[in-house]
Structure 1
């Protein structure tokens, strides 16, 4: 079966470019590039590896992330720091970046997760630094992105190790995919 490139990613890229064609600083421009590069890399890596299951997981996470983030933007109706619109909460750039980073980490491991989370953190920082969002907007966007991929994404291959804690104690859950 041939992997298909996810339509939500194409829509996301068009949305981000349409919103930020005229960035005012290098920080904002590089943050915009990171917000587009992360989902392109995440979906592209799955596509190049013919990982149809991964593409489906990425698409579900991306769609739920985009829908919830957009819904909250209009439900909360929070004014941006510059005062130019009422779509500050939560940060779409941050939710997209952290959704992609979490997908990469959870699907392919920390080898991909560390650089992805580093870039996602820069994207979030750039939104505050360029006066597009408040810190709480970025944190909320990051949380939405992380949770959407954490819910839909499964490990690609090999051993999956996850710590857990509950009322009975703490431990490590080990799972092997064959």
Structure 2
């Protein structure tokens, strides 16, 4: 999306938000040392990395470009979260995917602002004995 819109500021914001998502996710995996629910001898269940990545991307798209693109992205991210709990092996429980989603969304909202193609707008209008010049700047 950032390349399609030539939104290079958005590319930086995506990198910061996704980097934060990964740092928090893998730090928590190491600190919590929670065993996976399917019984393997792996202690990296909390939070779900797939879910945090999926929701980081979906929330970036929604936050930066709006719900038109964000809704399908959130649907796909939700399918990823469900697949992590409902797959034949059930790699995660509900708390793992809920935490992953919260981390992905939260990290994005720290760094990302909505995208405005035009930051400035100047308008002029006239009426009966009236002249109006308006200037708008979006931050």
TM-score tier (shorter): 0.7 to 0.9
Find out whether 1:142 has 2:98 as its counterpart: no
**Structure in which a larger fraction of residues adopt helix:** 1
Structure 1, residues 78-99: CA drift from partner, whole Å, max 9, x if none? 0001222111000001100111
Residue 48 of structure 1 aligns to a residue in which SS? coil
Q: CA deviation at 1:49?
A: 2.1
CA distance in 1, matches of 2:73, 2:7: 19
The match for 2:49 is: 92
Q: Which structure 2 segments of 5+ residues have no match?
A: 118-136
Q: Which structure 1 segments of 5+ residues have no match?
A: 1-44, 159-175
Spell out the pairing of 1:26-105 with structure 2 (5 A cutoff): 45-84=1-40, 85-105=42-62
Q: How many residues align?
A: 118
Spell out the pairing of 1:99-138 with structure 2 (5 A cutoff): 99-130=56-87, 131-138=90-97
CA distance in 1, matches of 2:110, 2:59: 10
Q: CA deviation at 1:119?
A: 0.5
CA distance in 2, matches of 1:67, 1:73: 10
CA distance in 2, matches of 1:61, 1:124: 19
CA distance in 1, matches of 2:116, 2:8: 13
- Large movers: runs of 4+ above 3 Å: none
Structure 1, residues 113-150: CA drift from partner, whole Å, max 9, x if none? 10010000000000000101000000000000000001
